[in-house]
Structures are given as structure tokens and as C-alpha cells.
Amino acid sequence: MRDPEQTLEDLSKILDELKERSKDEVILVEGQKDRAALTVLGIDSEVWQVQGPNSIFSTAERLAIEGRSAIILTDWDRKGGQLARLLRDGLRANGVRYDDQLRLRLVQLVKMEIKDIESLPAFFTRLVSLSHNSDLKQRLEDVPKYKAKKYLRPKP
């Protein structure tokens, strides 16, 4: 593992950027657990689950109709990579602006440790426990405890 403090600092920057940028953009994730993980990390923006080929294109069409842009944040396993490609194609075909650079930066940072979005909160907690940075430990204590609840996919 890289230096835990440096990894934690880099991960915190990515998460802070995601929090700031996602106020205007919809975050696209694979499933319910990914959505819950983002909530645990304090990202309270609009998050849409996209699973299956039909929902990808209906999601792209809906974003185009609403004139919104998206942040692609799928897992970095094989399925997540395929889904990211399908999302890029669908969004591009519908003229929807999208960002997949945050995903790429996140993958480069954590791919040796974890493989998906749902593992981020536990990984973040582990980094904080290995770190000597008291500000980040306080940040972890301030994260609300999340109780899982069922999320429904938005209707196109």
C-alpha cells in the first residue's frame, strides 16, 4: 500500500471535488450499495443507479431532455468498465456532457486496494485509522452513521 496519509489526502481531495461538482451534475453509479456508500461519505447529491442496457439509454435520454450533465462513477472491475463505456456512448449519442475523469483518478488511486465504490467508506475508515492526521480523524467522526434503505431507480 502507498503511504496511508498521502492516499487519504488524495482520496479526500477527490471526494471533496465530487461533493462540490455534483451539486449541478447527476452522479451515475451501478447499484444501491454504491449509492449508499456515497451517502456514507457525505455526498448528498443526486445519484442515479444505472443497471442493464435499457436503463442506460433511458438515463441518457432523460439527462438530455432535462439539459443536465453527469459524472460517471462506476466500479473498476470488468462489469463496471463495460458499463462506463456504454454510459459514455449513450451520453455522447444524446449530446449529454459527462465527466469520467473523477472515476479515472479514483481508480488510479485505489485500484490496488479495492475494486468498487461500495468499498470506499471502509477503505476511507482504514486510511484514517492508519493516519496520524487528527483533522481527518475528526472528519470521520462527523460522518453520519448510515442505515441502509431501499432506493428506487429514477423513472425515465
Sign, CA dihedral 124-4-9-114, equals: negative
Of 103-112, 131-140, 145-154, the range with the highest mean pLDDT is: 103-112
User: What average pLDDT score do residues 7-21 get?
Assistant: 90
Q: What are phi and psi of 141, to 5 degrees?
A: -65, -25
User: What average pLDDT score do residues 112-137 get?
Assistant: 83
User: What average pLDDT score do residues 124-152 get?
Assistant: 62
More confident residue, 24 or 91: 91
Query: pLDDT category, 69, cuts 50, 70, 90?
Result: very high
DSSP 131: -
